[in-house]
Amino acid sequence: MTFLELTEGPLWYAAATIFVVGVVWQIVGIVLLGRKPDRSVPRGSALAGAVKANVLHLWPHGGFFNKTGFHLVAGYIFHIGLFVLVLFAAPHIVFIQDHITGFGWGALPRWGFVLAAEAAFCGLILLWARRIGDPVIRLLSTQDDLAGLWLTFIVMLTGCLALGESIEFLRALHMLTVDIWLIYFPFSRLMHGFTFVFSRGYMGATFGRRGVTP
């Protein structure tokens, strides 16, 4: 078994299993903690509040646009770039078709891929610079926050190195980092990619009953 066969084969399936089981375990674990029923007489709908909070917090509101502009731009550039890369880069579509879905979809042209990659790198580097440069975020950051950030950076970097697909080792190296990233994900703050819906939703539900969405 070659290094590539290992990382795209048994290691990939193990990592993907740990990722899926870990994420489901985390989410179910959080939800099963439950909430006591609220006996107060509601003025509005909890469900509507949960939906509204999820939409409202996609974008700064309440006069905070200027104060949060850096994080907003860097965050969105990174996330959009990353998702475009993951879902629309031609090698990724082939991999997803072969290993997960059984079907594929149209890939981005090369210029789109390069643009998305540049955006993702640019956003991630800006977020990293803020994390180490801003005294508030430095105080809040843990080893986990930095590990998640660096791991994601390494995955993207090895992905770029493997871009030509001509050197098998580089492709295998990229897959290895992807596998490690997937295994790390459920144990880390990278889980925010799933828990944000619940966080916004619970808050929105609480205040939706009160007829307001902060």
Partner 1 sequence: MTDIAKATDVFMNKIDAQVAAHLDACVRCGQCSEACHFYQVTGDPKYTPVYKLKPLETVYQRYKAPLSGIKRMLGLAPPELTASDLEDWAELVYDACTLCGLCTVVCPMGIDIASMVRKVREGFSAAGLVPEGLTGAAQRAIEIGSPLGIKPQTLEKIIAEQAEEVGIPIELNKVGVDYLVILSAMEVLNFYEVIGALARLFKKAGVTWTISTDAYEATNVGIQMGNLEIAGTLVGRIVDAAEKLKVKYVISPECGHAYSALKWEGPNLLGRDYDFEVIHILELMDKLRREGRITFKGKDDRKLTYHDPCQIVRRGGIVREPRDLLGQVASNFVEMKDCGVYNICCGGGGGVSANPRAEDLRLKAFAVKKAQVDDLGGVDALVTSCANCRNVLEEGIEHYGMDLPVIGLSELLADYLDDEGDAASAT
Binding residues (CB under 8 A) for partner 1: these are 22, 25-26, 28-36, 38-41, 43-44, 53-54, 56-57, 60-64, 67-68, 71, 75, 131, 134-142, 145, 186-187, 189, 191-192, 195-196, 198-204, 206-207, 210-214
Length in residues, the chain: 214
The least CB distance from residue 160 to partner 1, in Å, is 25
Q: Toward partner 1, which CB reaches closer, 3 or 130?
A: 130
The least CB distance from residue 193 to partner 1, in Å, is 9
Q: What crossing angle do the helices spanning 69-88 and 110-133 adopt, rounded to 10°?
A: 140
Neighbours of 120 (CB within 10 A): 24
Q: Toward partner 1, which CB reaches closer, 75 or 91?
A: 75
Q: Toward partner 1, which CB reaches closer, 113 or 185?
A: 185
Q: Toward partner 1, which CB reaches closer, 4 or 197?
A: 197
Comparing C-alpha atoms, which of 143, 205, 129, 168 is closest to residue 6?
Answer: 168
> For residue 17, what are its two tokens?
């299993």
The least CB distance from residue 208 to partner 1, in Å, is 9
The least CB distance from residue 96 to partner 1, in Å, is 26
What is the torsion angle, in degrees rounded to the nearest 10, for the CA atoms of residue 33, residue 39, residue 41 and residue 47?
20
Q: Toward partner 1, which CB reaches closer, 2 or 68?
A: 68
Q: How far is CA 166 from CA 77, 82, 85, 161, 163, in A?
A: 29, 23, 19, 10, 8
DSSP state of 191: G
- Rounded to whole angstroms, the Cα distance separating 83 from 100 reads 17
Q: Toward partner 1, which CB reaches closer, 170 or 205?
A: 205
Q: How far is CA 95 from CA 88, 128, 185, in A?
A: 11, 29, 20
